Amino acid sequence: MDAPKAGSLPGILFDHARRARIGLPEAVFCEGKTREALLALLRRFPRGSGEAILFTRLAPDIFAAMPEDVRSGYDYDPVSRTAFGDRMPERAGASVAVVSAGAADAPVAREAARTLLYLGIPHTLFEDCGVAGLWRLTERLPEINAHSAVIAVAGLEGALASVLGGLTPLPVFAVPTSVGYGVARDGAAALTGMLASCAPGVAVLNIDNGYGGACAAARVVNLA
C-alpha cells in the first residue's frame, strides 16, 4: 500500500498511484462528505494545481456556497454535478458514444460525458434516442458506430441497452437510471431488464452510475 502523500488531508488518503496501476486516476465522491472536507479538497485541486481530480455528485447548492475564489478555479456543471480543475491530457484515436433514452436521463448521461471529457477521451453525446420512437436511434446509428465503445443510459424498462446491443458491434456499457413511475422502482426495473438482456455481451453498471460507465468505456479505449 502506498504511504500517504505529504500534505494529505486529515482522514482522507488519496490513491495517488491509481492512474499508474489501472490507467484511471482518483476521483472524489462528494455526496455525504462534510462541507468543511469538500472545501479543503476543492482548495487543494483547482485549475493549475498540476493534479487532475474529478469531483462527482457535487450538488449545486453545495458548490454555490463555496467561496468565489474556490469556485473560480473549477469547471463545474450543475446538471451532471461534476467539477474538475485540471484535466488529463487529450487522447487521439478511440472515442466513446454516450447514448441516452430521454431528457430525464440527462444528469447520468452527462456525468458519463463529463467524466470522459475530464479523462481526455473523445466522445459524442447522443440524447433523446429512446426506443419509444425508434427512428431517433436508427437515424443516429451510423454516427454512433463511428466510435469505439457505447455507453447506453436509460430508465423505465431500460430497453435501449438491448436494442443497441443488437444493432452495434461495439462494446456496450449499460447504465440504468432511476427515472420512471411506480414499478420502475427507482431504477430497479431498468437494472433488471439490462441484466436480463437477450443481446449478448452487454455489460451493466449500477443505477445512475454514469461515472462508472465512463470508466468502463475508458478501460476499453485505453487498450485500443
- The CATH number covering residue 172 comes to 3.40.50.1970
- Is residue 127 located within the same domain as residue 61? no
- Is residue 197 located within the same domain as residue 106? yes
- The values of phi and psi at residue 75, to 5°, are -90, 110
How far is the C-alpha of 25 from the C-alpha of 20, rounded, in Å? Answer: 8
- Is residue 182 located within the same domain as residue 116? yes
How far is the C-alpha of 68 from the C-alpha of 42, rounded, in Å? Answer: 12
- Is residue 102 located within the same domain as residue 206? yes
For position 26, what pLDDT does the model report?
84
- Is residue 206 located within the same domain as residue 136? yes
- Is residue 73 located within the same domain as residue 160? no
Alpha-helical runs (H) found in 134-208: 135-138, 141-144, 159-167, 188-195
Of 215, 205, 219, residue with least CA distance to 116? 215
First and final CA of the chain: distance in angstroms?
29
- Is residue 100 located within the same domain as residue 80? no
For position 25, what pLDDT does the model report?
80
Q: Does 6 fall in a domain? A: no
Q: Does 3 fall in a domain? A: no
Is this model's pTM higher than 0.85 or not? yes
- Is residue 131 located within the same domain as residue 219? yes
Where in the sequence is the domain holding 69, given as residue range(s)?
18-84
Q: Does 193 fall in a domain? A: yes
For position 20, what pLDDT does the model report?
65
Q: Are 215 and 25 in contact (CB under 8 A)?
A: no
Of 206, 194, 209, residue with least CA distance to 112? 209
Low-confidence ranges of the chain (pLDDT < 70): 1-17, 20
For position 140, what pLDDT does the model report?
95
For position 2, what pLDDT does the model report?
39
- Model confidence pLDDT, tens digit, residues 52-71: 999 999 999 999 999 999 99
Longest dimension (CA), the chain: 55
For position 148, what pLDDT does the model report?
95
pLDDT above 90 covers a percentage of the chain that reads 79
For position 7, what pLDDT does the model report?
46
